[in-house]
A and B are shown apart, each in its own frame.
Chain A
């Protein structure tokens, strides 16, 4: 027994890990960009958006143990909010509004992000309130339905009043302007030439760090412990006096808020949103990132995102040229190889690492 290590990792190891993570975060676009150009940096940008999403979902699934299959709905809510508030779409639909704002809406990102967080949290509560008495599979089905309902609403809210522009989506979303710097264009900063994808990278990285910080603090708080107690044994948690319904709603709201922030950034980054970005497949992809990495363990979740968001893209980009070089022709569509990898990774993980690639605590003795 004396040989057994403690449950929590030593703080020295944790801070070393943090340092390495920070270094990787700062250097990644330069390394990746050097190897593969701006397209690959763009993939990194998306990986960061997925990390925000996955960290949000991790609060719901990993901490509170609530299987949410429709998480992408909150991403959609944030994205459409940003699109509506910073594209000409609404002004084109409502001339009265145009008269009021002849210059266009151009809402500041500082306003859009908190609004997206609040609105998504609100949707989280709306979804949670009637469904959180359900457990396990039942909750999964209902949340799955909710995700689809949001997507179908976005698809069809172009009539009678054109709010969302239906399946065509909303274009001309403003790029983020931060302290007067337009992140949508290449900028000269500190003597460095930074293309748009690099600028967004650092904005996203800053927000990932903020969300990470929030997650770590929540995890180690009275609220985080209560969530995990509910995950471990809901009835025992209640018997200890935990208001489980309220705590679960809180998990839903906070997780959704992070999803909303991620979605708003996505809309500004793409300059375009359409319902097809928010399918069930996306919900499942984010869930897969959380599960593959290690539910409830932040480093694991990040690993899952990097593996499932970045690696398949790298495969897709490299498999074509590789086959050309080896066989003189492309035998298998790189997209198929990407999906094969995806499926294989999940199957192998479930077989050999059912608790995730990097779970929080190895089972059995501490």
Chain B
């Protein structure tokens, strides 16, 4: 049977009395860029946090690639194949760009204490591969010359790219990006768009939270719109932007997105 890569059904999450997520269902096909948009406080980041185990949902069903999964232990979500970036950049600041990406390789590598202490050849080989892989990913996101820079010394746009490289290093089946264009200037946004398309064309599936309407409409294959924790519209960008409820949610009645 043909199943979507990620299928989420009727997820609920309350904070006190506020329903941050209210029966949210979502289904993402392999190989697409899926957009999740909505006004401030709509529940987009909460959805990411629930999906990646940072918050425990009150209810809901999660399937990744046809397999039921319970996002309970955060570290198992990355192993299962979902990697994410953060709305407020969260890099390992005092480490170099290269080391940040190498940490992303952690789940796909095995060297333990013995490999470190003994320096046996299999361990050294894995370490060399990790390093090479990280260098390739840095080049892939356009940070080839920045391998040895402290993460927090990079420009804002570069930090966002570094987060993407670090997430890609976990070999995710779904790459979830929380506002990757935030804080970028116009030309950086253009470059980001082509990076996202390149990542998709290389066989990845992306879930994208983004406020920049032009970017979302341009790059996404399908979009869900959240408002007050509810999904108010799903569809191709062209359909969604004409949806009256979406227009109302964004700009009040009578306006156009």
CB interface residues, B 166-200, toward A, < 8 Å: 166-167, 170
Residues of B within 8 A of A241 (CB): 75-79, 106-107, 170
Chain B 94-112: CB-based contact to A (< 8 A → 1; otherwise 0): 1110010011111101011
Closest chain-B Cβ to A86's Cβ sits at a distance in Å of: 27
Inter-chain contact A240/B104, CB cutoff 8 Å = yes
B86: A residues at CB distance < 8 A: 236, 239
Query: Chain B: which residue is nearest A243 at the CB level?
Result: B75
A243 to B112 Cα, complex, angstroms: 13
Chain A: minimal CB distance from B140 (Å):
17
Interface size for B (C-beta < 8 A) is: 43
| CB atoms of A366 and B103 under 8 A apart | no
Interface residues of A in 265-281 (CB under 8 A from B): none
In the assembled complex, B159 has its CB within 8 A of some CB on chain A: no
Residue of B nearest to A236 (CB): B90
Q: Which residues of A contact B54 (CB under 8 A)?
A: 235, 239
With CB as the reference atom, state the residue of chain A lying closest to B153.
A365
B116 close to A (CB within 8 Å): yes
Whether B103 and A242, one on each chain, are in contact in the complex, defined by CB atoms closer than 8 angstroms, is yes
Residue of B91, B94, B105, B167 with highest tally of chain A CB at under 10 A: B94
- Report A362 CB to chain B, min CB distance, Å: 10
Q: Which residues of A contact B94 (CB under 8 A)?
A: 228, 231-232, 360-361
For the complex, is B14 an interface residue (Cβ under 8 Å from A)?
no
Which residues of chain B have C-beta atoms less than 8 A from A217's C-beta? 116-117, 119
Partner of B113 from the list A223, A231, A232, A242 (CB cut-off 8 Å) is A223
| Contact B113 A218, beta carbon cutoff 8 Å | yes
Question: 1/0 per residue A294-315: CB within 8 Å of B?
Answer: 0000000000000000000000
* Chain A interface mostly: helix
> B113 contacts A250, CB within 8 Å?
yes
Interface contact B150-A226, CB-CB below 8 Å? no
Query: Are B74 and A232 neighbours in the complex by a CB distance under 8 Å?
Result: no
A237 to B79, CA, bound (A): 12
Chain B hits for A361, CB < 8 A: 94, 150
Stretch of A4-12, A140-148, A343-351 with 4 or more beta carbons under 8 angstroms from chain B: A4-12
* Alpha-carbon separation in the docked complex, A240 to B166 (Å): 8
Q: How far is the CA of A222 from the CA of B101 in the complex (A)?
A: 12
Chain A residues whose CB sits within 8 angstroms of the CB of B77 once the complex forms: 239, 241
- Let me know if B111 and A222 touch, CB within 8 A: yes
Taken residue by residue from 218 to 260, chain A's Cβ proximity to chain B (1 for < 8 Å, 0 otherwise) reads as 1011111110110111011111111110000010001000000
**Among the interface residues A231, A233, A250, which one has the most CB atoms of the partner chain B within 10 A?**
A233
Report whether A239 and B106 are in contact in the complex, using a CB–CB cutoff of 8 Å: no
Nearest-CB distance from A241 to chain B (Å)? 3
Chain A min CB distance to B92 (Å): 4
Contact A218 B117 (CB under 8 A): yes
User: Measured between alpha carbons, how far is A176 from B28 in the docked complex, in Å?
Assistant: 67
**B103-133, CB < 8 A from A:** 103-107, 109, 111-113, 115-117, 119, 126-127, 130
Q: Is B148 an interface residue when CB atoms closer than 8 A count as contact?
A: yes
Determine the chain B residues whose CB is within 8 A of the CB of A218 once the complex forms.
113, 116-117
A224 to B148, CA, bound (A): 17
Q: How far is the CA of A27 from the CA of B117 in the complex (A)?
A: 28
Select one of B76, B95, B116 contacting A221, CB under 8 A: B116
B106:A236 contact, CB within 8 angstroms:
no
A221 touches B104 (CB 8 A): no
Provided the pairs A228-B95, A241-B78, A241-B79 are in contact, do residues A222 and B150 lie with their beta carbons within 8 angstroms? Answer: no
Q: Which residues in chain B, 125-149, are within 8 Å of chain A measured between CB atoms?
A: 126-127, 130, 148-149
Alpha-carbon distance between A37 and B162 when the two chains are bound, in angstroms: 57
Contact residues in A for B116 (Cβ distance below 8 Å): 217-218, 220-224
In the A-B complex, the 6 residue pairs with the closest CB atoms: A241-B78, A221-B116, A241-B107, A232-B92, A6-B148, A238-B74
* 29 A–B contacts, CB within 8 A, in A order: A220-B116, A221-B127, A222-B106, A222-B127, A222-B130, A225-B103, A226-B103, A228-B92, A228-B95, A228-B99, A232-B93, A232-B95, A236-B86, A236-B90, A237-B92, A239-B54, A239-B75, A239-B84, A240-B83, A240-B167, A240-B170, A241-B76, A241-B78, A241-B79, A242-B75, A250-B113, A361-B150, A366-B148, A366-B153
13 more A-B residue pairs beyond the given contacts A222-B112, A222-B127, with a C-beta to C-beta distance below 8 A: A221-B115, A222-B111, A224-B116, A225-B99, A235-B74, A236-B92, A237-B92, A239-B54, A239-B75, A240-B78, A240-B83, A361-B94, A366-B148
